[in-house]
Amino acid sequence: MKYSSGRVERRKAPHKGWRAVLDYEEGGKRKRKTRSLDARTKTEANRQMNAWWAEMEAEAERRAAEPPTPAEEASSVTVGEWVSDQIAQMGAVGSITPTTVAGYRHSAKLLSPIAGTPLDRLDRAAVAGWMAGLTGRGLSSSTVGKSFRLLKQCMSIAVRDEMLLRNPCDGVRPPKREKVRPGINALDSAERSRLKALLASVEPDPMVVGASVALYTGLRRGEVCGLRWRDVDLDRGVLWVRKAIGVADGRTYLKDSKTGHDRDVALPATLVDALREWRRDPRSGEVYVVGRGDRWADPSVLGREWGVFAKLNGVRGTEGRLCTFHDLRHTWATAAVAAGIDIKTVSSNLGHANAAMTLNIYASADPEAKRRAAEVMDSVI
């Protein structure tokens, strides 16, 4: 802080003596500081004023050289800057994947109405008003909820770092999530048989092989792309899911599997034979099963190529929609549950965190299983 001028004034009656006045600017406004002086003459008053002025300038310089306290920093950084910094830091230390970083950045774009607010000026009313504005624009509760949770997480970090006394998101309720979830678009038995025949009849390539792996094992698209030949034992009929390929900002990268744990998946004889044939094919990847040369395949490209194949051949699931690459995973899981494979084995193959998650998604996803259940109950009741 710089003091633009200093002077002495006689104190107004009934007070006697002198006082010093220092002028300065703060926030575009002129302000002043005053101090009573123990002086009988104006000369002595000026001497004391100058000494005080020098002390105040030295104190201001000392404070300017010190790093700001967390609370002071909160007034100089905006909500948008803080959230952006936290996303970057989480990505840099590896606590979130590049894919999650990209997702967080997308969610952060919705913070624009409050992004310019100083961190210490954000309050509960502002957060609630911001969310109401997003909902008013017709955004889904899921989209608004993701952005709100990101904001709350970043504000929790500010509280932890003692920049804020409390989280302005506390006590604010995000919009209630819609419980509308599209049905599992798995292939029924007839369509499964038709697809198996289609895959067996066409020239093998990375897309055909990748689709076969997903259909017969239930692997995720990124896991199919991350599958290396060294992770496949065709003699024993087993593969190990150790890595996956992620996509962020249009680029691919190698990452751990979704749960962070390796898992083994048994291979049916049909897939073992197909992989043996593909391994001998000069077009197969040297390192990755569906890669090219020593590079892995791009999951987005694999998904698009499968989409073209599904559309050309009219491959549709039980929901009437064209079968996506992820629907092949749904197909394996639904068929496994319907076949009576124990739920723990199904959950393990899928790489789910627990069997309850598998049951919640797939236990009633097969229309044929429902019909069989109805027939059984007809005879029982």
Q: Which pLDDT belongs to residue 304?
A: 97
Q: What are phi and psi of 244, to 5 degrees?
A: -145, 165
Distance CA 48, CA 38 (A): 8
Q: Which pLDDT belongs to residue 338?
A: 85
Instruction: Give domain limits for the chain.
Output: 3-66, 73-160, 189-376
List the one residue out of 30, 31, 126, 34 whose CA is nearest residue 78. 126
Distance CA 144, CA 218 (A): 31
118's tokens: 């100083």
**pLDDT lower than 70: segments of the chain:** 1, 68-72, 178-182, 363-381
Q: Which pLDDT belongs to residue 272?
A: 96
Amino acid at 283: R
pLDDT, one tens digit per residue, over 63-96 is 777 776 666 677 789 999 999 999 999 999 989 9
Q: Which helix (H) or strand (E) holds 50?
A: helix 42-65
* CB 243 within 8 Å of CB 260: no
Beta bridge partners of 32: 23
* Tally of residues, the chain: 381
Helical ranges in 161-298 per DSSP H: 189-201, 206-217, 221-226, 269-280
Q: Which fold has domain 189-376?
A: hpI Integrase; Chain A (1.10.443)
**How does 72-90 read in b/e, with b if 16+ C-beta sit within 10 Å?**
ebbeebbbbebbbebbeeb
Rg (CA), the chain: 33
Beta bridge partners of 263: 241
Q: In what order do the strands lie in the sheet with 238-241?
A: 232-233, 238-241, 263-266
E strand residue ranges, the chain: 3-10, 18-26, 29-37, 232-233, 238-241, 243-248, 251-256, 263-266
300's tokens: 């987005």
10's tokens: 């006689």
Q: Which pLDDT belongs to residue 69?
A: 67
Helical ranges in 162-248 per DSSP H: 189-201, 206-217, 221-226
